[in-house]
Amino acid sequence: MNRFAFLLGLGCALGVWNFTQRAGKKEGHAAVIMLVCALLGARAGYVWMHWLYFSRNEWEIFAFSSGGLDGPAACMGGALAWLLITLMQKKSFQKALDDSAALFIPVILSVWLGCWVEGVAYGPSLPQNSPLGRLNWQTSSPLHWPLPFLAAVCLTAMYYWLEKRYQNAQPGQRGGWVYLVGLLSILLISGLRSDNPAPLWYGVRIDIWESLGMLFVFLLAWLLPAGIERKGI
């Protein structure tokens, strides 16, 4: 087991525990279903982005141990499972958003830390004497901006601030802000990373398009119901 898999497993376990503390212990199965769908979505997105290779090596499509996951597609898979579970349980969307945010934040933090220790998703090169170079886990490689580590630190600080700021807020506010910050981190790293060449569409990386689409759909789903309710439509 590599370090990324270990940290991801740890983040998922903490996420399920955190989720059950908010939603109730009987809701643990919902968290597991969302995580499984997120993992399948992440792999499906990666396979789709590199279909020219996998079309000639079909047996590797389900070789999760060889690596290859797509962050925005993972969010899409998890979001679809969240939507179906919420509809089936007839829960309030705002309450479900707050509950699932407790699962989302430990998982995305573990992903960024896993990328950091594996030397993945790093940014542009740094001068050799840059203090940020000391944060590069892979010391044998040229120095780069440690984007995943910086994202993990910023997300942790933002999460604790949001927990305190929106502790008694209306349902959906706290969870919405948590998701917004997390999705923005995915978009920024997709746009700034320089380690992994990805297929382009109109000159822009496909994972950036995925991140933008996911962010747009989330903002629409988060803000539109509140606007309709405020106007009394």
The larger pLDDT score, comparing residue 166 to residue 231, is at 166
**Inter-residue contact 103 to 15 (CB < 8 Å):** yes
pLDDT beyond 50 at 118: yes
Give residue 227's pLDDT.
56
Q: CA-CA distance, 111 to 39, in Å (whole number)? A: 12
pLDDT in tens, 145-177: 889 999 999 999 988 888 888 877 788 888 889
pLDDT tens readout for residues 53-100? 888 888 888 887 777 888 889 999 999 999 999 989 888 888 888 899
Q: What's the pLDDT score for residue 7?
A: 93
Tens digits of residue pLDDT in 217-230: 888 888 776 555 55
Q: Is the pLDDT of residue 1 over 60?
A: no
Cα-Cα-Cα-Cα dihedral sign, residues 183, 186, 189, 190: negative
106 to 18, 76, 82: CA distances (angstroms): 8, 17, 17
Six-digit token string for 162: 């949001």
- Give the count of beta carbons closer than 10 Å to the beta carbon of residue 104: 25
Predicted structure pTM score: 0.85
Which comes out higher in pLDDT, residue 21 or 131?
21
Q: Please check the confidence at residue 37 and state whether its pLDDT lies above 50.
A: yes
Beta-ladder partners of 144: 125
Answer yes or no: is pLDDT of 13 > 50.
yes
Confidence (pLDDT) at 233: 47
Instruction: Give which of 64, 97, 62 is closest to 82, Cα–Cα.
Output: 97
Query: What whole-number distance in Å separates Cα of residue 35 and Cα of residue 79?
Result: 10
Interior angle at CA 146, CA 39 and CA 54, nearest 5: 35
Of 226 and 24, the one with more pLDDT: 24
The encoded tokens of residue 20 equal: 């059950």
Closest CA to 116 of 140, 141, 151: 151
The 3-state secondary structure of the chain reads CCHHHHHHHHHHHHHHHHHHHHHCHHHHHHHHHHHHHHHHHHHHHHHHHCHHHHCCCHHHCCCHHHCCCCHHHHHHHHHHHHHHHHHHHCCCHHHHHHHHHHHHHHHHHHHHHHHHHHCCCCCCECCCCCHHHHHCCCCCCCCECCHHHHHHHHHHHHHHHHHHHCCCCCCCHHHHHHHHHHHHHHHHHHHHCCCCCCCEECCEEHHHHHHHHHHHHHHHHHHHHHHHHHHCC
With a pLDDT cut of 70, the percent of the chain lying above it is 94
What confidence score (pLDDT) does residue 26 get?
Answer: 83
Cβ contact 71:209 at 8 Å: no
What is the reported pLDDT for 63? 81
pLDDT in tens, 168-215: 778 888 888 999 999 999 999 888 888 777 788 888 888 899 899 999
What are the domain boundaries of the chain?
3-231
